[in-house]
A and B are shown apart, each in its own frame.
Chain A
Amino acid sequence: MRYDTVIIGAGMSGLSAGVRLAYYEKNVLILERHTTIGGLNSFYRLRKRNYDVGLHAVTNYAEPGTRQGPLSKLLRQLRMKWEDFDLRPQLRSTIAFPDCTLHFTNQFNFFVEQIAAAFPQQIDGFRRLVTCIAEHDALDLDRASVSARQVVSEYIRDPLLVDMIFCPLMFYGSATPRDMDFNQFVIMFKSIFHEGFGRPFDGIRLILKRLVRHFKSLGGHLKLRAGVQEIRQSNGKATSVLLDDGTEIEADNILSSAGAAETMRMVDPNAPLLKAEPGDISFVESISVLDCEPSSLGHSDTIVFYSDTKDFHYERPNVPVDLRSGIVCSPNNFDYSKPLEDGRIRITALANPHYWMNLPEDEYIAAKDHWNSRIIQSALNHLPDFRSHVIDTDVFTPRTIRRFTGHLNGCVYGAPQKFVNGQTSLPNLYLCGTDQGFLGIVGAMLSGITIANRYLLK
Chain B
Amino acid sequence: MTSDQIRQVILEILERIAPDEDLTDLDDARPFREQMELDSMDFLDIVMELRKMYRIQIPEEDYPNLNTMAGTVGYLLPRLKDVAVGA
Contact = CB atoms under 8 A, between A and B. Distances in A.
Interface of A: 24-25, 65-68, 72-73, 76-77, 79, 81, 449-450, 453, 457
Nearest to A446: B41
Contacts of A66: 20
A67 B17 CA distance: 11
B16 A79 contact: yes
Contacts of A24: 48, 51-52
Interface string B30-68: 000000110101101100100110000000000000000
Interface in B3-26: 16-21
Given A72-B20, A76-B19, A81-B19, A67 B44 contact: no
Contacts, number: 29
Contact of A457 (B18, B20, B48): B48
Interface of B: 16-21, 36-37, 39, 41-42, 44-45, 48, 51-52
A147 to B, nearest CB: 29
12 contacts: A24-B51, A25-B52, A67-B21, A67-B36, A67-B37, A72-B20, A72-B37, A73-B41, A79-B16, A449-B41, A450-B41, A453-B41
A79 B13 CA distance: 11
Given A67-B37, A68-B37, A453-B41, A76 B18 contact: yes
Given A24-B52, A67-B21, A449-B41, 14 more contacts: A25-B52, A67-B18, A67-B36, A67-B37, A72-B37, A73-B39, A76-B17, A76-B18, A76-B19, A76-B42, A77-B45, A81-B19, A450-B41, A457-B48
Nearest to A66: B20
B6 to A, nearest CB: 21
A370 B51 CA distance: 60
B76 to A, nearest CB: 19
Contacts of B48: 24, 457
Contacts of A81: 19
Most chain-B Cβ atoms within 10 A of its Cβ — which of A65, A66, A76, A450?
A76
A24 to B, nearest CB: 6
A82 to B, nearest CB: 8
A449 B75 CA distance: 28
A150 to B, nearest CB: 30
Most chain-A Cβ atoms within 10 A of its Cβ — which of B37, B42, B52?
B37
B32 to A, nearest CB: 13
A67 B39 contact: no
Contact of B41 (A25, A77, A79): A77
Contacts of A457: 48
Contacts of A449: 41
Contacts of A76: 17-19, 42
Most chain-A Cβ atoms within 10 A of its Cβ — which of B19, B21, B51?
B19
Nearest to A64: B20
State the 8 A-B residue pairs at the shortest beta-carbon distance, nearest first. Answer: A67-B37, A67-B20, A65-B20, A68-B37, A24-B48, A76-B17, A24-B52, A76-B18
Contacts of A77: 41, 45
A260 to B, nearest CB: 24
A79 B52 CA distance: 15
A455 to B, nearest CB: 13
Contacts of B39: 73
A67 B45 CA distance: 16
Contacts of B16: 79
A24 B46 CA distance: 12
A451 to B, nearest CB: 12
A290 to B, nearest CB: 38
